[in-house]
């Protein structure tokens, strides 16, 4: 293995490691805000949960931007922490080039949908983003048909497929409308950005050549020249060789230049 090959491998490993760290730190930064607000609300007496989203109330519009950071109990924030750390890191690593726009599409889109369809109560929690990222990672892998992204979709479905149960009103304490809104926002993001980010590699055997576009136009006068050459060759064919030198020079010209194709 050459030095250049080793350098390329090292650069690739460094690049992959940097991407993993970037995705991880973005997730940790978001969670740090969530945990800080939870500690303020739960242990320091600040009632920050009042800034959650209240559907169809103008005063509740602020919750579109704040509700994702607020949680009502330790078990609530803990379960969201583990899932968010994985799904958000997947998003920012595998869909790095479109991760920010995808995140904010889910962040804002889910909040707007919930404000429109939610029951009249204060809705809080990052689970809307979880459902949005889950839906995006799964459906985006299927839509793109990229082998790596399809593997990501399979892993997400295997480990977090049970999330779909909470898209339905099985527990009155859980905002199933928020889950549904996040899930819908994730599907919308997968469709909107389907032609951006990682794409499926198209192999040569899948392409259908357009013969009309590949045919080169014959310049004017070539046909006449070809006809003249043909008649000249026909006349020379019936003409006896005059010398050994003439035969050798004709053969040399023929081998060196050759017919144009």
Return the percent helix, strand and coil in the chain, to nearest 5: 75, 0, 25
Number of domains in the chain: 1
What value, to the nearest 5°, has the Cα angle with vertex 133 and ends 113 and 117? 15
Res 15: pLDDT: 77
Specify if 231 maps to a domain.
no
Specify if 208 maps to a domain.
no
Query: Is the distance from CB of 179 to CB of 170 less than 8 angstroms?
Result: no
Specify if 162 maps to a domain.
yes
Specify if 135 maps to a domain.
yes
Q: Residue 128 above 60 pLDDT?
A: yes
- Domain of 78, CATH number, reads 1.20.1540.10
**Three-state secondary-structure class, residue 170:** coil
CA distance 51 to 48: 6
Per-residue pLDDT tens digits for 224-253: 444 455 555 555 555 444 333 333 333 333
Domain coverage including residue 13: 3-192
Who wins on pLDDT, 197 or 147?
147
Res 172: pLDDT: 86
What are residue 53's phi and psi, to 5 degrees?
-90, 130
Specify if 206 maps to a domain.
no
pLDDT, averaged across the chain: 80
Specify if 261 maps to a domain.
no
Specify if 71 maps to a domain.
yes
Specify if 180 maps to a domain.
yes
Reported pTM: 0.72
């Amino acid at each position: 293995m050459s030095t250049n090959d080793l350098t390329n491998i090292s650069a690739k490993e460094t690049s992959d490691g940097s991407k993993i760290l970037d995705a991880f730190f973005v997730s940790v930064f978001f969670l740090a805000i969530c945990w800080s607000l939870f500690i303020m609300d739960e242990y320091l007496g600040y009632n920050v949960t009042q800034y959650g989203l209240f559907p169809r109330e103008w005063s509740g519009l602020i919750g579109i931007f704040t509700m994702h950071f607020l949680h009502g109990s330790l078990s609530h924030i803990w379960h969201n922490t583990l899932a968010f750390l994985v799904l958000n890191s997947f998003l920012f690593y595998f869909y790095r080039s479109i991760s920010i726009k995808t995140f904010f599409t889910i962040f804002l889109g889910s909040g707007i949908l919930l404000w429109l369809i939610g029951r009249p109560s204060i809705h809080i929690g990052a689970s809307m983003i979880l459902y949005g990222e889950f839906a995006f990672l799964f459906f985006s892998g299927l839509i793109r048909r990229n082998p790596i992204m399809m593997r990501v979709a399979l892993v997400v479905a295997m480990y977090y497929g049970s999330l779909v149960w909470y898209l339905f009103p099985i527990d009155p304490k859980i905002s199933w409308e928020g889950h549904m809104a996040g899930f819908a926002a994730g599907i919308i993001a997968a469709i909107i950005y389907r032609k951006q980010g990682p794409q499926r590699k198209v192999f040569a055997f899948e392409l259908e050549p357009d013969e009309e576009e590949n045919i080169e136009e014959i310049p004017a006068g070539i046909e006449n020249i070809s006809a003249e050459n043909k008649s000249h060759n026909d006349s020379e064919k019936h003409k006896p060789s005059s010398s050994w030198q003439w035969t050798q020079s004709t053969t040399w010209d023929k081998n060196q230049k050759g017919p144009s194709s």
